């Protein structure tokens, strides 16, 4: 007699009940989030100590704890070590965390709204709109907001383009997902043409600046930038958490979601606005960073399952972790050079995502 046969039927039923499976899923999700949080803390300290002026791990941690009023570690021994950390390194690491979290959560929400694990924020045109607006400010030398002009224009352009895509895709008071995708493709094509025209009109310096902005970089991050991007990202992430249960119900299908009390059109509008806020805030100061909003939620969905109440916080932490590690690589892979962050994430994310697709296809035995 096997061990399972020897158990009372009631014990087996309790062990395999939906409640037991849900509890195991929550425990697994909690452990994953804790592991990601610890990895993020370690990678953040390591990234802050990496660069032309190398600062040991314990000295970075000591400097951080000292600002919190805790003298639990050694301070940087280099005369400019502490100043370098708080003026250059910590703002850059913090910006990487904020941008990575915002892009990953935006990608997760986008995949939930479209019901497709291959969806990403650029589908609704927010990235291309931000790029065009930033290029306009560069080519025509706009300075109405001082050094913040490019960021302000990029943020406004991303939001405006997303709202345009949504308005053009509405028909009879409803927005079909397929229509929204096709409209986004068309608007992205027009934005690409506009960007090419602006690069043609601009001088050599303007073209170089546009190209560099499109490649993405966290170089020059300051605390003042984070105080702008951080609250916007926090609002978007909080709104996505509020809509997590509704996104789970939407995964059952629009008709089933409506029967369960979800106002599908209102949810879709709110989530698209959330995606626009998160993505526009992320790209406004650092340019376009590709694949984070696509690969991170797609990979975590394979680990945690489709439940957004676990998937969203896990994606937030994983996105922050990925961008911190990527930015550390951008600063250290080539001596005395700062590689474009968007280029690095594309070089790594593209082949990795292709491997994920091949793996999924072999596991499933074909496309669903």
For residue range 97-143, what is the model confidence (pLDDT) as tens digits? 999 999 999 999 998 988 877 778 888 889 899 999 999 999 999 98
**What is the widest separation between alpha-carbon atoms in the chain?**
82
Per domain, the residue ranges of the chain are 91-364
Q: What is the pLDDT of residue 23?
A: 64
Name residue, tokens 């592991």: 35
- Structure confidence at residue 364 (pLDDT): 55
**What tokens were used for 119?**
């969806």
Q: Are 48 and 85 in contact (CB under 8 A)?
A: yes
Whole-angstrom distance, CA of residue 55 vs CA of residue 116: 44
Q: What does the chain come to in residues?
A: 368
Q: Residue 68, class by beta-carbon neighbours within 10 Å (0-12 exposed, 13-18 middle, 19+ buried)?
A: exposed
Q: How many other β-carbons are positioned within 10 Å of the β-carbon of residue 117?
A: 18
Beta bridge partners of 170: 175
pLDDT, tens only, 300-354 = 988 888 889 999 999 999 999 999 999 999 998 888 888 889 888 888 888 877 8
If 0-12 CB within 10 Å is exposed, 13-18 middle and 19+ buried, where does residue 328 land? Answer: buried
Check if CATH label 1.10.3470.10 holds for domain 91-364.
yes
The pLDDT tens digits along the chain (368 residues) read 444 444 554 444 444 565 666 666 678 888 999 999 999 999 999 999 998 888 999 999 999 998 888 887 788 988 888 999 999 999 999 999 999 999 999 999 998 988 877 778 888 889 899 999 999 999 999 988 888 899 999 999 999 998 888 888 877 667 777 888 888 889 999 999 999 999 999 999 999 889 888 888 998 899 999 999 999 999 999 999 999 999 999 888 888 888 888 888 889 889 989 999 999 999 998 888 888 988 899 889 888 888 899 999 999 999 999 999 999 999 988 888 888 898 888 888 888 778 877 776 666 544 34
- Burial category of 184 from C-beta neighbours within 10 Å (exposed 0-12, middle 13-18, buried 19 and up): buried
Query: How high is the pLDDT of residue 21?
Result: 61
Helices (H), the chain: 3-6, 9-15, 18-49, 57-67, 81-84, 90-114, 126-139, 149-169, 177-201, 204-215, 223-242, 244-250, 254-259, 264-286, 292-304, 308-332, 341-364
pLDDT at 354: 80
CA distance 54 to 57: 9
pLDDT given for residue 91 in this prediction: 95
Reduce the secondary structure of 298-319 to three states and give it as a string: HHHHHHHCCCHHHHHHHHHHHH
How many angstroms from the chain centroid is the CA of residue 81? 30
């Amino acid at each position: 007699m096997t061990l399972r046969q020897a158990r009372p039927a009631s014990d087996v039923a309790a062990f395999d009940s939906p409640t037991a499976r849900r509890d195991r899923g929550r425990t697994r999700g909690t452990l994953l989030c804790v592991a990601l949080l610890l990895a993020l803390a370690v990678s953040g300290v390591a990234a802050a100590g990496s660069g032309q002026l190398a600062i040991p791990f314990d000295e970075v941690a000591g400097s951080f704890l000292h600002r919190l009023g805790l003298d639990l570690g050694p301070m940087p021994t280099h005369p400019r070590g502490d100043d370098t950390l708080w003026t250059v390194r910590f703002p850059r690491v913090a910006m990487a965390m904020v941008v990575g979290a915002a892009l990953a959560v935006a990608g997760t929400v986008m995949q939930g709204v479209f019901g497709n694990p291959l969806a990403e924020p650029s589908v609704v045109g927010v990235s291309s709109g931000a790029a065009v607006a930033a290029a306009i400010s560069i080519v025509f030398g706009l300075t109405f907001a001082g050094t913040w002009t490019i960021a302000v224009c990029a943020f406004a352009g991303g939001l405006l383009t997303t709202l345009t895509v949504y308005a053009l895709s509405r028909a009879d008071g409803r927005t079909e997902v397929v229509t929204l995708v096709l409209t986004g493709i068309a608007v992205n094509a027009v934005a690409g043409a506009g960007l090419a025209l602006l690069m043609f009109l601009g001088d050599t310096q303007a073209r170089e600046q546009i190209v560099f902005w499109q490649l993405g970089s966290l170089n020059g991050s300051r605390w003042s930038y984070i105080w702008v991007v951080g609250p916007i990202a926090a609002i978007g992430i909080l709104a996505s958490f509020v809509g997590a249960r509704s996104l789970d119900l939407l995964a059952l299908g629009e008709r089933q979601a409506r029967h369960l009390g979800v106002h599908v059109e209102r949810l879709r509008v709110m989530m698209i606005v959330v995606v626009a806020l998160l993505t526009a805030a992320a790209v406004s100061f650092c340019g376009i960073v590709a694949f984070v909003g696509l690969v991170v939620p797609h990979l975590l969905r394979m680990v945690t399952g489709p439940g957004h109440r676990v998937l969203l916080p896990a994606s937030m932490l994983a996105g922050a972790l990925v961008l911190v590690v990527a930015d550390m690589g951008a600063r250290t892979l080539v001596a005395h050079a700062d590689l474009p962050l968007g280029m690095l994430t594309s070089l790594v994310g593209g082949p990795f995502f292709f491997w994920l697709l091949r793996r999924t296809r072999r596991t499933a035995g074909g496309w669903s």
